[in-house]
Amino acid sequence: MALNLCTSPKWIRTTVFDSASSSKPSLAASSSSSTTSFSSSILSSKSVGLQRLSLKRNVGVSVRSSLETAGPTVTVGKVTEVNKDTFWPIVNAAGDKTVVLDMFTKWCGPCKVIAPLYEELSQKYLDVVFLKLDCNQDNKSLAKELGIKVVPTFKILKDSKIVKEVTGAKFDDLLAAIDSVRSS
């Protein structure tokens, strides 16, 4: 059985419990994640951060980070697509982390040009949450609430408040704005 622990957005750990093994925990590292094996006798009851887990044999348990509990999974190093229902819960769960929102449309040429560069930024800044919102009819109310006038528009949030905005596909301006908010 596996227990996925995201103790920090930068480090994702996967803990695997081997009920057949009675050996002590061992640690093996790989480039993308770490795997730790424990015997089931050690893990009948284990505390993880502020959550307490009671584990039974043959039961899969997944513990999500505060960023993941709000809805869709937020993956470090990737851009997460949000909608009017998932945006604010994810932003609120991010706490004091910097959140960058790309507001785009599928028909927008400049949006298509900057999208791969935005994805690269998400891989570079692992301490920042990168989101994207398709400003279609379904998400019109959120786009209006956020005050979008042109696409692409990038909103940078900290502590659930918009602190910077970059309009247009201006990569250098976006990079400077992210660096400015991260350092504050």
3-state helix, strand, coil in the chain (%, to 5): 25, 35, 40
6 in catalytic set:
no
Ramachandran area for residue 154 (φ above 0: left; ψ -120 to 50: alpha; else beta): beta
Bridge partners, 36 (sequence order): 15, 27
Angle of helix 109-124 versus helix 171-183 axis, rounded to 10:
40
Task: List the one residue out of 166, 184, 129, 76 whose CA is nearest residue 175.
Answer: 166
Check 111, 135, 142, 143 and give the catalytic one.
111
Contact between residue 98 and residue 128 where contact means Cβ atoms under 8 Å apart: yes
Bridge partners, 29 (sequence order): 34
CA distance 107 to 92: 30
Check 1, 12, 42, 108 and give the catalytic one.
108
111 in catalytic set:
yes
- Catalytic positions are 108, 111
